[in-house]
Amino acid sequence: MIKNEIIEEKIKKYELFVEEKLKTDLRKVDDTLLIKNKLYQEWEEVENMCKTIQEFKEKDRDMLMKLELGDGVLVQGEVTNFNDVFIDIGLGHILKMEPDEAIKYAGIRKRVLKKEVEHYRKLAVDIKVHIKFVLLAISELQSPNTPP
C-alpha cells in the first residue's frame, strides 16, 4: 500500500514536470523558431529586392513600386536612383549601402539566422525526446508488472 502511494506520488511529479517545465520550454522554443524564421524571410526579401534593384540599374530603367505604409494603405512610387539602399540593421539604426553590399549583408544575416534556427530545432527535438522519456517512465511506473 505504501509502495503504491510512493509510485502515485512519483507519477504526479513526473506529470507536473512534463506539463509545467518541458511543455512550457517547448512552447518557448517554438515561438522563438517562428520569430527566427520570420526574420530569415525578411532578409530573403531584402536580398531579392536588392537583386531586383541591380537588374533595373543594369537595364537603365526606372522602377515603379507599390509600398504599404500600414493599415492597408498603399503608395505608388518611382525609383530612379539605384545607387544606394537603406538597410535597417537593428536597434533603430539604418545604414546606407550599395545594393551589392546590402546583398552581402543580407547573406551574412541569413547564415546567422539559419544557424540559430538549426540550434532551436535541435533544442525542440531534445525537449520532445525528454518528454517521451518521461512519459515512458510514467507508463512503466503505471504498469502492474513492474519488477521490484
What's 27-50 look like in SS3? HHHHHHHHHHHHHHHHHHHHHHHH
What is the domain partition of the chain in residue ranges?
A: 2-142
39, 113 contact by CB (below 8 A) = yes
Residue 11 has pLDDT above 70, yes or no: yes
Q: Side chain identity at 115, as an amino acid letter?
A: K
Class of 2-142 in CATH: mainly alpha
Query: Which pLDDT tens digit goes with each residue over 114-123?
Result: 999 999 999 9
Task: Please report the pLDDT score of residue 3 as a whole number.
Answer: 81
As given in the structure block, the three cell numbers for residue 143 are 504498469
> Does the pLDDT of residue 52 top 70, yes or no?
yes
Quote the cell numbers at residue 80: 530612379
In angstroms, the first-to-last Cα distance of the chain is: 14
| 56-93: pLDDT as tens digits | 888 777 778 888 888 889 999 887 778 889 999 889 99
